[in-house]
Amino acid sequence: MVRNLSPALAEDEDEFPEPPRLKLLRRLVMGLTVTLGLGMILIAGTVAWRLWSAAPPALPIRAESLALPAGAEITALGASPSEILAAVRLPDGAEALLTFRRADGALLSQTPIRRQ
Domain-wise residue ranges, the chain: 16-55, 63-113
Q: What is the pTM of this model?
A: 0.49
5 compared with 109, residue with greater pLDDT: 109
Instruction: Give the pLDDT band of residue 20 (cuts 50, 70, 90).
Output: confident
Give the rounded percent of residues in the chain with a pLDDT score beyond 70.
82
**pLDDT tens digit string along 79-114?**
888 888 999 999 998 999 999 988 888 889 999 998
Confidence tier at 14 by pLDDT (50, 70, 90)? low
What is the residue type of 47?
Answer: V
